[in-house]
Every structure is written in C-alpha cells, then in structure tokens.
Amino acid sequence: MVITVERYLKVVYPIWSKKKLHRWMLYSAVAFSCISAIIQVFAMTFTTTDVIDGVCYGYVFWQSRAAQITYRI
C-alpha cells in the first residue's frame, strides 16, 4: 500500500513529490509496515497457541468465535 501511495503522489503531484517526498520517508514507511505486521502476527500467535501433552496447537485457542472470524477476515 505504501508503494501504491508513493506512485500515486509521483503521478498526480509530480512537483510536490520531487520537493517534499524524501527517500528516508519511503524507507521509514516500508520499515514501519513490515515491523507492524510482524508484531501483529507474533501477538496473535502467542495469545492463541498452547502446548498440550507435548503437542503445539497454533491458532486454536481463541477467546471467542467472533474474534476468530474477525481475524480471518
């Protein structure tokens, strides 16, 4: 999505993007999206996973059925 917005700005507002859109802004936006995705996946993995009798069950133990459906959507 970050790349799409960046391309849109370059096409629709070429002068603005040359003056105000710096390379560090793009790199920080890409880094933020990657880091936030990793944090979200780890948070869901730790809260919905458990080990029972030596077997790891991932994404099995949800607090409610609505939470599971919402996450999948």
Q: Letter for the amino acid at 19?
A: K
* Structural contact between residues 20 and 14, judged by C-beta atoms closer than 8 angstroms: no
Position 38 scores a pLDDT of 94
CA 68 and chain centroid, separation: 18
Please give the pLDDT value at position 52.
92
Q: How many domains does the chain have?
A: 1
The CA distances from residue 2 to 55, 58, 62, 66, 70, in Å, are: 39, 30, 31, 30, 24
**Which of the residues in the chain have pLDDT under 70?**
none
**46: containing domain:** 2-72
